[in-house]
Amino acid sequence: PDPRYLKLHAACAQVAHLSGAAEYIDNILRDLEEIRVLANDGSSADLLDFQLSPLVN
pTM given for the model: 0.56
SS3 assignment, position 10: helix
What confidence tens digit (pLDDT) does each residue in 2-14 have?
999 999 999 999 9
Contact 22, 16 (CB under 8 A): yes
Domain edges within the chain: 3-56
Give the type of residue at 44: S
- For residue 22, what pLDDT is reported? 84
